[in-house]
């Protein structure tokens, strides 16, 4: 059996070693079954709420091309947390004659797709509510709730409890210079002609 592995972790706060751990465990399962690993696909710091991931898309393309017979992942939610996407993936893999095996659920069938897909969808909904709540709290505390913007740099300091502060920013002077240059009013053609006329008079 020709096998492939898919691994993913979703947050910048998680360690990149998570990918290596997932691949290692999947390889161990493949060795136990006597499967030959041809490829290990991975997406780092990418959400399972979207399928627009390079590793995921390459895995799907290779599955359609018949490059492997079984796909191994740590769990179904490593592939996707969206119920519709899970169903679509299962349908495409089945059509390509590829078995889907996860270390948590075993060989995936229609029952897994229905139940796990629903559970993952509920997880995403709950996560969205908690994320918005956390962002609102950050804003009310005078902090920045999202990612960094061009023109600012992140400031991290150690708090009394040993954790690191988040949401603190200060102006990046080098990038601020670029922003000021971009936002300078552009000269019109009339201004340019007037300028040329003044130069001629000086000459």
pLDDT tens, position by position, 38-84: 999 999 888 877 889 999 999 999 999 999 999 999 988 899 888 78
The pLDDT assigned to 63 comes to 97
Q: State the average pLDDT for the chain.
A: 81
- CA atoms of 68 and 137, how far apart (whole Å): 47
Token digits for 147?
């990612």
Domain boundaries, the chain: 2-120, 152-202
Residues 3 and 35: beta-carbon distance below 8 Å: yes
What mean pLDDT is predicted for residues 28-40? 96
| DSSP code per residue over 142-157 | T---S---TTEEE---
pTM over 0.85: no
Q: Edge-to-edge, what's the strand order for the sheet holding 36-43?
A: 36-43, 2-8, 70-73, 99-102, 106-107
- Say if domain 2-120 classifies as CATH 3.40.50.1390: yes
Question: Three-state DSSP class for 182?
Answer: helix
């Amino acid at each position: 059996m020709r096998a492939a592995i898919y691994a993913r972790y979703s947050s910048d706060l998680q360690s990149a070693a998570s990918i290596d751990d997932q691949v290692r465990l999947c390889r161990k399962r493949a060795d136990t079954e006597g499967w030959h690993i041809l490829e290990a696909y991975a997406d780092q710091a990418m959400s399972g709420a979207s399928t627009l991931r390079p590793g995921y898309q390459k895995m799907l393309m290779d599955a359609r091309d018949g490059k492997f017979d079984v796909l191994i992942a740590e769990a179904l939610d490593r592939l996707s947390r969206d119920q519709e996407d899970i169903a679509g993936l299962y349908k495409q893999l089945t059509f390509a004659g590829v078995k889907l095996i996860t270390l948590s659920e075993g060989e995936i069938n229609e029952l897994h797709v229905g139940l796990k897909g629903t559970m993952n969808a509920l997880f995403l909904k709950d996560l969205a509510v908690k994320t918005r709540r956390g962002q609102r709290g950050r804003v009310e505390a005078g902090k920045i709730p999202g990612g960094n913007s061009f023109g600012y740099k992140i400031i991290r300091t150690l708090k009394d409890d040993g954790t690191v502060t988040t949401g603190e920013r200060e102006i990046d002077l080098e990038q601020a210079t670029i922003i000021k240059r971009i936002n300078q009013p552009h000269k019109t053609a009339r201004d340019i002609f007037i300028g040329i006329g003044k130069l001629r008079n000086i000459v």
